Amino acid sequence: MDEIKEECGVFGIYHNPEAASLAYFGLHALQHRGQEGAGIATADGKDIYCFKGRGLLASVFEQGGLAGLKGGNSVGHVRYGTEGGNEIENVQPMVARAQIGSIAVVHNGQIANAGELRCELENNGSIFRGTSDSEIILHMIQRRKGPLLRKIQEACKKLDGAFSFLILTEKNLYAIRDKNGLRPLSIARLNEGYCLSSESCAFEAIGAKFLRDVRPGEVIKLSEKGMESSFYTEETQHRICAMEYIYFSRPDSNVEGLNVHTVRKKCGKIMAMKDRDGLAADIVVGVPDSSLSAAMGYSEASGLPCEMGLIKNRYVGRTFIKPTQRLRDMGVKMKLSVNVSVVAGKRVVLIDDSLVRGTTSRYIVQLLKEASAKEVHLRIASPAIIYPCFYGVDTSTQQELISYRLSSAALREYVGADSLRFLSLEDLQRACGGNCCFACFNGEYVTPLYCHGEKSK
């Protein structure tokens, strides 16, 4: 399937007797951000304990891994892993055991100058065990001198790109966000302590009270002295990744103050208003789950009824059969099926959140046509993606981006829709505000770019 993949979620607890259990619950609420690996590290003032593994959170911990995670502070991680990079070495938290004290790091994002930094570190004798950027962060920090806070700040100055990470020491907890604020990170109060999360929905899950987003360039230190804030640079700006609104975050999360469901619904409404005069249709159908909010918005603004024309199977479907092509097709149908009675003979406005390689949209349009939909008008609730992302969104190379390769007409033909329209960038900005990174739509990258090991710009 042609899904954009989420790029991990981080979660942390400072000062709570149930730090490991709370991290488990918090990560469960972030599970949509990564299903290939999960782990939790805790600290009890004397040592750091860590348990992690490949797969879903619940299966990683089903054999009792929580039992050994002692202490009142914790950090946790759910991981999305690219193919080939899903070795156990890349699963987080990453722990460095040093005689001056151990630290554990969990990280969400992508370091744009990872290749350069890695080269430099290796030349100075560092060893890398996996391919994860988190390992670079560990090295960058440990190589600096002075107290840990200063080491973190010095390290961050060298990091270009998107990063929100947590550092757990034997006694304290640090939260850091890159100077453009590309990846989300928020802080909440939980009784006498604190809680950190990639998304605010995890605060709700454990009853923590949202305090504020961590600020671009900010380094928060949680210690016996409470919460102390500092900045590793003064050159900051708010450039949260627009994809957090469009696809990644859960509808009940607030990202930089805006509710995700509400932003998506607004996108749907705006699209409907643009279609107002031209589009004669019978029903609106959203691709579950991430496009349902936009479909509701489109329905509301257009007056067309919103229908459940596509159904997502809630159960994990595994194919144990060495499949013929026929059985392989069924494997795909295990995930998504069309509600034939609802769409047959209808002119359908099909709402999808985004379009990357085009294969999923093409497949869904075909499903609807086979189910006798009279017309299928595809509306993408975000602009065409024509630039690659270097900040953690797995949209691969520019050549794979179908909006880059094909003209609008050719694209419509490829997906098989009767009409196709994207949300314009301006309209997206109306919905989610201008303070986002829109680089995948307009090529305006917020950091220098690197290419073959050299800064290209």
Rule CB under 8 A: say whether 446 interacts with a second copy: no
Structure tokens at 279: 């589009």
Of the residues 289, 426, 444, 454, which one makes contact with a second copy according to CB under 8 A: 289
Nearer to a second copy (CB atom), residue 28 or residue 183:
28
Spatial CA neighbour of 292 closest among 333, 252, 256:
252
What is the smallest separation between the CB atom of 172 and a second copy, expressed in angstroms?
A: 19
User: Side-chain half-sphere of 308: how many Cα atoms within 13 Å?
Assistant: 6
Ligand-binding site membership of 50 (annotated)? no
CB of 32 to a second copy, least distance (A): 7
What is the full DSSP assignment across 106-168? EEEEEETTHHHHHHHHHHTT---SSS-HHHHHHHHHHHS-SSHHHHHHHHHHH--EEEEEEEE
With CB under 8 A as the contact rule, the residue among 5, 33, 52, 151 that binds a second copy is 52
Q: 8, 10, 13, 56: which one contacts a second copy (CB under 8 A)? A: 56
Q: Which residue in 62, 228, 426, 444 binds a second copy (CB under 8 A)?
A: 62
Q: Do 71 and 51 touch, CB atoms closer than 8 A?
A: no
Give the integer Cα–Cα distance in Å for 313 and 384.
28
Query: At its nearest, how many Å lie between a second copy and the CB of residue 168?
Result: 15
Range 245-274, binding a second copy (CB under 8 A) = 250-252, 254, 259, 261-262, 265
Answer yes or no whether residue 334 interacts with a second copy by CB under 8 A.
yes
Distance CA 275, CA 397 (A): 32
Question: Should residue 206 be labelled a site residue for a second copy when binding is judged by CB under 8 A?
Answer: yes
Buried b / exposed e over 13-25, threshold 16 CB at 10 Å, is bbbbeebbbbbbb
- Contact between 8 and a second copy (CB under 8 A)? no
290 is in an annotated binding site: yes
Binding residue (CB under 8 A) for a second copy from 40, 94, 241, 279: 94
Q: In this structure, how many other beta carbons lie within 10 angstroms of the beta carbon of residue 116?
A: 17
Structure tokens, 288: 């579950």
444 lies in the site for a second copy, by CB under 8 A: no
Give me the least distance between CB of 380 and a second copy, in Å please.
Answer: 20
To the nearest whole angstrom, how small is the minimum distance from the Cβ of residue 222 to a second copy?
A: 22
- Provide the token pair at 104: 């554990």
Interaction of residue 412 with a second copy, rule CB under 8 A: no
- Binding test (CB under 8 A) with a second copy, winner from 3, 45, 82, 88: 88
DSSP run (H or E) holding 375: strand 375-380
Footprint on residues 290-329 left by a second copy (CB under 8 A): 292-293, 296, 299-300, 305-308, 311, 313-318, 320-321, 324, 326-327, 329
Known catalytic membership, residue 201: no
- Give the C-alpha separation, 253 to 161, whole Å: 23
**Nearest one of 68, 364, 393, 64 to 242, comparing CA atoms:** 393
44 lines the binding site for a second copy (CB under 8 A): no
Nearer to a second copy, 209 or 276 (CB): 209
Total residues interacting with a second copy, rule: CB under 8 A: 91
For the chain, how long is the longest CA-to-CA vector? 71
Enzyme catalytic residues: 8
